């Protein structure tokens, strides 16, 4: 079975005011936040250490659950693409967007379209709609989009009934395939993981879909902290794991999943790699069975 790395919340693109008109919007709040605090937290040197560590650890695939940018300016999408390309090819790396990548409403062309090779389903016939499906070995990576523009001071997300309906159909179709279904989503899906203003508004409806259709693992970011939970599936609990930000100079982390096939399903364990500020490198920081 392939080893899957999970990284999230890179916030890899420093905020610059190239066009003041871009900031006559919610972006002014993001610019202030970046200037006052976030530029000290999300550091390029941590991402460079991540790049080195991924090269050494050499996972079979890397899942990135969004928030590559800060305020979704067009230059951020091309700078984030450069980071993606440094981390791996579209064959090696799968992406779903986060709320910062939809900080304000942006045209797809010149923004998300730049990331298309990393976002898209394997089968072009599935189109650009979410959920996406990418198969890597015995992993079926199901990508959701919870990134939607919101009012100032909100960082919530939503999937919407149409995406949830397509998700239930897709998970149902995959159920008998023998593949390990891994759901990628930016926002946490369990209550209380983040504050109400940062929540997934239709998390309860998503949990109902998972209860009926099942999945083997759900991974998310957004909380900027490690979080382990479960949600009900049709035949037992589904592990739900949140990862910290991969660029946080104080406590960056990423996860490595090892999946084993057993007669009664899959056994999944996670290894944590944490950034050590004193050394400027990532190192092993514990593991647990899910
Ligand atoms: Fe986020």
What would the pLDDT profile of 139-178 be if each residue is shown by its tens digit? 999 999 999 999 998 999 999 999 999 999 999 999 989 9
- Ligand 1 centre distance from Cα of residue 262 (Å): 35
Spatial distance between the Cα atoms of 136 and 11, rounded to a whole number of angstroms: 26
Strands 4-7 and 253-262 come out as antiparallel
- Could you give the C-alpha distances from 147 to 11, 112, 118, 160, 262, in angstroms and in order? 15, 11, 16, 11, 35
CA dihedral (31, 33, 37, 41) positive or negative: negative
- Ligand 1 centre distance from Cα of residue 117 (Å): 22
pLDDT tier, 24 (very low <50, low <70, confident <90, very high otherwise):
confident
The CA-based angle 8-109-74, given to 5 degrees, is 60
- Ligand 1 centre distance from Cα of residue 44 (Å): 18
pLDDT tier, 265 (very low <50, low <70, confident <90, very high otherwise):
confident
- Ligand 1 centre distance from Cα of residue 98 (Å): 5
- Ligand 1 centre distance from Cα of residue 157 (Å): 9
> What number of H helices and E strands is found in the chain?
7, 12
- Ligand 1 centre distance from Cα of residue 20 (Å): 24
Task: Give the pLDDT score at 87.
Answer: 93
Phi first, then psi, for residue 176 (nearest 5°) are -90, 10
In tens, the pLDDT along 167-193 reads: 999 999 999 899 999 999 999 999 999
- Ligand 1 centre distance from Cα of residue 50 (Å): 19
Report yes or no: 101 and 112 within 8 Å, Cβ to Cβ: yes
Per-chain mean pLDDT for the chain:
95
Report yes or no: 11 and 70 within 8 Å, Cβ to Cβ: yes
Report yes or no: 254 and 6 within 8 Å, Cβ to Cβ: yes
Phi first, then psi, for residue 189 (nearest 5°) are -110, -5
Q: 138: alpha, beta or left, given left = phi > 0 and alpha = psi -120 to 50?
A: alpha
| DSSP code, position 129 | P
Dihedral angle, C-alpha 198, 110, 28, 119, nearest 10 °: 20
In tens, the pLDDT along 217-261 reads: 999 999 999 999 999 999 999 999 999 999 999 999 999 999 999
In tens, the pLDDT along 26-46 reads: 888 888 888 889 989 989 999
Tokens at residue 118, please?
């990393």
Spatial distance between the Cα atoms of 213 and 112, rounded to a whole number of angstroms: 29
Beta bridge partners of 157: 200
Report yes or no: 158 and 146 within 8 Å, Cβ to Cβ: yes
- Ligand 1 centre distance from Cα of residue 104 (Å): 13
pLDDT tier, 264 (very low <50, low <70, confident <90, very high otherwise):
confident
């Amino acid at each position: 079975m392939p080893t899957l790395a999970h990284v999230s919340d890179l916030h890899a693109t420093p905020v610059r005011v190239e066009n003041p008109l871009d900031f006559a919007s919610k972006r002014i709040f993001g610019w202030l936040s970046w200037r006052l605090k976030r530029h000290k937290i999300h550091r390029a040197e941590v991402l460079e250490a991540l790049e080195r560590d991924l090269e050494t650890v050499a996972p079979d695939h890397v899942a990135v659950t969004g928030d590559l940018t800060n305020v979704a300016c067009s230059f951020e999408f091309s700078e984030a693409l450069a980071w993606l390309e440094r981390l791996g090819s579209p064959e090696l790396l799968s992406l779903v967007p986060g709320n910062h990548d939809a900080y304000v409403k942006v045209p797809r062309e010149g923004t998300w379209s730049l990331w298309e090779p990393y976002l898209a389903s394997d089968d072009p016939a599935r189109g650009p709609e979410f959920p996406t499906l990418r198969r890597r070995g015995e992993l079926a990576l199901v990508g959701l989009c919870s990134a939607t523009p919101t009012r100032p001071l909100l960082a919530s997300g939503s999937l919407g009934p149409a995406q949830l309906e397509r998700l239930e159909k897709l998970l149902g179709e995959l159920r008998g395939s023998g593949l390990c279904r891994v759901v990628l989503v930016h926002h946490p899906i369990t209550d209380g993981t983040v504050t109400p203003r940062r929540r997934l508004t239709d998390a309860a409806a998503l949990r109902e879909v998972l209860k009926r259709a099942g999945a083997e693992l759900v991974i998310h970011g957004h909380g900027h902290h490690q979080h382990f939970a479960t949600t009900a599936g049709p035949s037992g609990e589904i592990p739900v794991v949140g990862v910290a930000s991969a660029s946080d100079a104080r406590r960056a982390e990423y996860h490595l999943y090892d999946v084993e096939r057993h007669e009664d399903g899959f056994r999944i364990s996670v290894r944590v790699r944490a950034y050590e500020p004193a050394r400027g490198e990532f190192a092993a920081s514990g593991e647990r069975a899910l």
